[in-house]
Structure 1
């Protein structure tokens, strides 16, 4: 079959995938599987090999990432339900002081965004943003915008989030290097995004009166259209620190059927240590493999401890003991909390597996090589193609995870042909993350979740959230491009 025909089949497959997800509202997992089967048959994959191709794609992907995603979700769930996430955010606010509260919440979004999924983190931290906005009389967006963008940035760039894990596995990058390079890149992107958001929030944006009333405890002044800012009766708003302290020290948690833990919320240091433990173990494993002699005992130990699955498993055990058993949770309750993390990530895992199926079909059918030939002839660097492809798919269908997985499937043949080093592949993975961060707009569930919680209308959401996430995505790509000559 000619390359032109294969490329037309690929284009038709991607178009069908977008139509199924956007127009027909088909669940992405089902849409990916259906399109994968259709593309395979149209491209001439023998019917007898079709099922094996699908099984190989699903198994090869999930064999690596399913455990990592599930364990990461368990860690985030334990930290969330123990009160550790809210306690950590309040501690940061106390340490940074009232003048730097927006920065404190941004840092909280960055750190908590590593183990906690974006949607969960937003639910945990947004009530805290409500509290500080009420106490200060400042617009909610001053606190919420950089905080939410920080969590979305981590979600797009770093393991153990599903898109980053799937991309790292698909293109053959090293998770330790992705973390080693990605954490400072993400931190700089978030810091610059914070500075951009400060300029954005100098102007006022219309705010939903219902959200305004929930945040400030009163209805907006008639004629203001719910514009946030200082409450309509500033004199009635206590100026002393006692009210602000009372608001800030009340932990805000999601409602859950699980009983609240009897012990006080975990300390700042304990939560921070539990968040960084798996990261340090993974980095130690990567450094051991690169710096220690092959066959040495220490290298072997670090390799095992630094395997992402082992590192996360160790951290799950530490979280269960330090945040659970030592604080009064019995074994049944710990098991229920850990189990409650799985339903929310089950579909994410399946979508990642279906993305692996799509990638396998592209390779088995020869479409991948045809795409690689075309991309080679463009003369564009692999790093730029990774960013641009992920950004286009993100803008078209909304989901960061689906955009990253699909991009990896499309570009893997090209990357294999390019013979890139492990460090370069890690930067390509981060460039895809930058594309997956950008252009969060009306087809993205995260866009609606943030704008509804922040009380923004569609136009204001596009002017703030969409512009900020796109700006941060471009900054992220610029940083990966700047690091390219160094690896």
Structure 2
């Protein structure tokens, strides 16, 4: 096929994907498969090769993604239902003082966002946000909640085991451990940035709240005043479970249904038995840090020991993200669950229920792998990538802009990430890039899928609905914060690129 024809095929496939997702609200899993089918037929792929190519694309992607997403979902569910978020927030606030509630909760949410999907994690954090916004003297939860929401969705798009960045790492052959470490390293300065920018935005004006959300916030304030007067000893949501149910009511009261994967996920698992005790903050933090430490050992250890030696094999195993998460889940079962009074039966129910929402994400990621495989096998992806490179555009910028365009057009960060990775896959895999450079390309796609989030993104509605903001105020806060994070991170990646050669 001529270059013009190939470009037409790619444009048609992307158009099918966007129209199905945006106009007809077709599930992303089906839309991605339909786009892959259009690409296969339009490019002249032999009919007997279509299904085998689909199978190869699905299997090749899910080989590692399903393990990471499934184990990450289980770890997140254990931390959630044992009251880990409340324990971390309370401990950090007591150390930093009530006037530093915002930074304390921001740090908590950053740690909490590593193993837990954004919408679930934010909904779990919401009652804590409401409670501690009062301690800082804020008139509304937006001052505390907006930076937290932006940072959590940033980590969701930039740090494995979250599905989009894990899937793009698989497609581009990136070292998942290195992507994890770089993503976490970049998240630290972004945490400071979102705190500063968030204060600049929220201090400039009052943000009218949805009446039902305002009532919820005022009830939280009244409850805290009663506790201060010694009339009520039970903090709202302090058990780490009761607050979650309250947020579900908030979503409905705002007049909009909670986005898919939000309140349903948060309430799908068993509630805590009456006899359990919450974990300590150190125990919770250690369970989040443990897999990161194991991955770090594997990444750094491979630089100092021979790969084919026994120590090298041990270090390689320890540093495998799937092994690190498996070990951490086993440790969390004992440290956060059994030691706190949970039975293995109840913990099994928590972990099993966490796989239901995770399965949706796994299948979408697999469908993205199918789309990428069809683009590769038909030569469409290679031709498009070469044409883009022929314009002189650096691969890092190309990856970022492609992800941004997909994000703005259809809203899903996961779809934007996987579609963009599919388009640049041939150039990256066949190119002479170092592992550091490939990791930077993966992160460029990730930050592109964060920037310019707006009303077609479910994350926009999660933050708006539960913080009680209007659409206009959501654009002034959520959209501005995600765009600042995405573009600033791209500048950092561009600065690192010469050092990665």
Question: What's the TM-score, normalizing by structure 2?
Answer: 0.90
The equivalent of 1:140 in structure 2 is 141
* Structural mapping, 1:27-426, within 5 Å: 27-138=27-138, 139-202=140-203, 203-217=205-219, 247=235, 250-253=238-241, 254-255=244-245, 256=267, 258-261=270-273, 262-426=275-439
What is the CA deviation profile of residues 207-241 of structure 1, one whole-angstrom value per residue up to 9, with x for unaligned ones? Answer: 112111110139xxxxxxxxxxxx9x9xx968969
> Quick check: 2:277–2:341 contact (8 Å CA) kept in 1?
no
In 1, are the aligned partners of 2:16 and 2:34 still within 8 Å (CA)? no
- Preserved contact between residue 135 and residue 244 of structure 1 (Cα < 8 Å): no
- In structure 2, the CA distance between the partners of 1:41 and 1:97, relative to structure 1 (3 Å rule), is same
Distance across 2 between alignment mates of 1:94 and 1:241:
19
Q: CA deviation at 1:141?
A: 1.0
Q: Determine if contact 1:127/1:252 at 8 Å carries over to the other structure.
A: no
Distance in 2 (CA, whole Å) between partners of 1:454 and 1:369 is 44
1:417 Cα deviation from its structure 2 partner: 3.7
How many Å apart are 1:251 and its aligned residue? 3.2
SS in 1 for 2:449: helix
* CA-to-aligned-CA distance 1:114-171 (integer Å, 9 cap, x gap): 0111011111111111112344441311110111111111101000100110011111
* 1:44-70 residue CA offsets vs partner (Å, 9 max, x unmatched): 110011111000000000011111100
Aligned-partner Cα distance in 2 for 1:450–1:194: 16
Q: Contact between 1:91 and 1:268, CA under 8 Å: does it hold in 2?
A: yes
What CA distance in whole angstroms lies between the structure 2 residues aligned with 1:41 and 1:274? Answer: 48
Unmatched runs of 5 consecutive residues or more in structure 1: 219-230
Q: 1:49 to 1:352 in 2, by over 3 A?
A: same
Change (3 A) 1:145 1:295: same
CA contact (8 A) 1:263 1:328 kept: yes
Q: Match for residue 248 of structure 2?
A: none
Name 2:474's counterpart in structure 1.
461
Asked whether the equivalents of residues 132 and 244 of structure 1 are also in contact (C-alpha less than 8 Å), the reply is no
Indicate the residue corresponding to 1:14 in structure 2: 14
Task: Write out the 4+ residue segments of structure 1 that deviate beyond 4 Å after TM superposition.
Answer: 236-249
Write the distance in 1 (CA, Å) between the matches of 2:497 and 2:437: 7
Alignment of 1:432-443 (within 5 A): 432-443=445-456
Structure 2, unpaired ranges of 5+: 246-266
Compute the displacement of 1:323 (Å): 1.5
Residues 135-144 or 28-37, more deviating: 135-144
Q: Alpha-carbon deviation of 1:243?
A: 8.8
Aligned to 1:448: 461
CA RMSD of aligned residues (A): 2.0
TM-fit CA distance, 1:291:
2.1
Q: Distance in 1 between matches of 2:307 and 2:355?
A: 38
Question: Could you tell me how far 1:293 is from its partner in structure 2?
Answer: 1.8
1:123 and 1:420 mapped to 2: Cα distance?
A: 40
- The Cα shift of 1:109 comes to 1.2
Secondary structure of the 2:207 match is coil
Which deviations, in whole Å up to 9, do the C-alpha atoms of 1:158-200 show, x marking residues without a partner?
0010011001111111011112222111111121111100100
Checking the alignment, whether the CA contact within 8 Å between 2:276 and 2:342 is kept in structure 1 is no
Q: Aligned in 2, Cα 1:365/1:244: closer, same or farther, shift over 3 Å?
A: farther
